[in-house]
Amino acid sequence: MRLGHFDMNLLVALDALLDTRSVTRASERLHIGASATSSALGRLREYFGDPLLMQVGRRMELTPLGRSLAQPVREILLNVQSTVVARLEFDPAQARRNFVIRASDYLTTVLLTNVVQRLQREAPGITLHIANMADDVPEQLDRGEVDLVIYPSISVNPAHPSQALFEESFSCVVWKGNPLVGDTLSIEQYKEMGHVAATFGDSRSVSFEGLVMANLGMSRTVEVTTTNFNTLPQLVIGTTRIATVMTRLARIYAHYLPLRILPLPMNLPPLVEMMQWHAINTSDPAHIWMRRVLQEQAQMYADAGTTVFV
């Protein structure tokens, strides 16, 4: 298709080149050879009368025109994709679709495990790619590279639709053999004990409870950090340390590990887990179905007070 002498087939190549800033990576995304991608870049440069990508040191950088084209081109492709998909009647039993979901390992354990089981029964042709959170998740959502993000309400991007899934509370976990604590903790004990805590991304940002504590002016002595929630209960075993963990996750691990669950010595607001998606997918039938599955599984999870294996 040509519009004003522009070959519309080049739009996909243009999007890949502007996003990856690399002929090699764009070729991998497009599943074509590097020579074909280089040829497409040459035609695009000729049409726009601009290099679009330029070598700066060891990296390729976008020209001002390239930067100005990146978002409009991505939005055009997302609109086309949404319009085409929305015209198709969705049958989960026959559907062939891959969803990319960004969520913490905690959410994978307590929620997405059950979603995966349900998909195998009801929609065997739907595949999932579940990836942990990263610093650039907001940008990935803006670019339409991720279908759903599940994270705390404080992280929600107001530019895109979102919906609450469930609330979670926090508890403390200690090793059963920890001689320093009884059945309860005082705030003084909590502050003095060594803590195991989770941090995320290259920026090592703190998790929800750490952020809340900082906002309340509370401090704690963090002696061990890890990049996922599931290792928190394991890392206190054999030590006198403590971890602040989502209550349902603590209950799961207390069934299998020598742990004790203690109430927090202070009141923290509940963790509200939200799911968010790009506005372009709001009317996509497959997306609507997937969001409903997540809502239903989250409701079962909230009602049961722990993970629900169905």
Give the residue ranges of DSSP H helices in the chain: 10-20, 23-30, 34-48, 64-86, 105-107, 113-122, 137-142, 187-192, 208-215, 232-235, 247-254, 285-304
Q: Are 280 and 144 in contact (CB under 8 A)?
A: yes
What is the length of the chain? 310
Q: How far is CA 185 from CA 31, 180, 261, in A?
A: 57, 10, 11
34 in helix, strand or coil?
helix
Give the Cα separation of 307 and 255 in Å (integer). 13
User: CATH number for the domain including 82?
Assistant: 1.10.10.10
In angstroms, the CA 237 to CA 176 distance is: 8
Flag whether 309 is in a domain. no
112 lies in some domain: yes
Indicate whether 179 and 45 sit together in one domain. Answer: no
- Assess whether 151 and 297 both reside in one domain: yes
Tell me: do 178 and 261 sit in the same domain: yes
Q: Does residue 177 sit in the same domain as residue 249?
A: yes
Question: Does 200 fall in a domain?
Answer: yes
Distance, in Å, from the CA atom of 273 to the CA atom of 166, rounded to the nearest integer, reads 6
**Which CATH number covers residue 188?**
3.40.190.10
pLDDT at 259: 97
Q: With contact defined as beta carbons under 8 Å apart, do 8 and 1 qualify?
A: yes
Question: Does residue 134 form part of some domain?
Answer: yes
Q: Does the residue 133 lie in any domain?
A: yes
Specify whether the CB–CB gap between 212 and 88 falls below 8 A: no
Kindly give the confidence (pLDDT) of every residue in the chain, 310 residues in length, as a single tens digit, with 9 standing for 90 and above.
Answer: 334 567 767 888 888 899 889 888 888 877 778 888 888 899 899 888 999 988 888 888 999 998 999 888 888 887 777 666 555 668 999 999 999 999 999 999 999 999 999 999 999 999 999 998 888 888 888 888 899 999 999 889 888 899 999 999 999 999 999 999 988 899 899 989 999 999 876 656 667 777 777 777 778 889 999 989 999 999 999 999 999 999 999 999 999 999 999 999 988 888 999 999 988 888 888 999 999 999 999 998 777 654 433 3
Q: What is the pTM of this model?
A: 0.72
- Domain match, 76 and 19 both: yes
Which residue range(s) make up the domain with 190?
170-269
CA 261 to chain centre: 28
Query: CA Rg, the chain, in Å?
Result: 24
Domains identified in the chain, total number: 3
Identify the DSSP state of 161.
Answer: -
Buried b (16+ CB within 10 A) or exposed e, 78-113: beeebeebbeeebebeebebebbbbbbbbbbbbbbe
- Cα–Cα distance between 13 and 47 in angstroms, integer? 14
Q: Give the largest Cα separation in the chain, rounded.
A: 78
SS3 of 55-109: the string is: EECCEEEECHHHHHHHHHHHHHHHHHHHHHHHCCCCCCCCCCEEEEEECCHHHHH
Residue type, 123: A
Q: Please tell me whether residues 179 and 251 are part of one structural domain.
A: yes
As a whole number of angstroms, the distance between CA 140 and CA 148 comes to: 10
Residues 74 and 143 in one domain: no
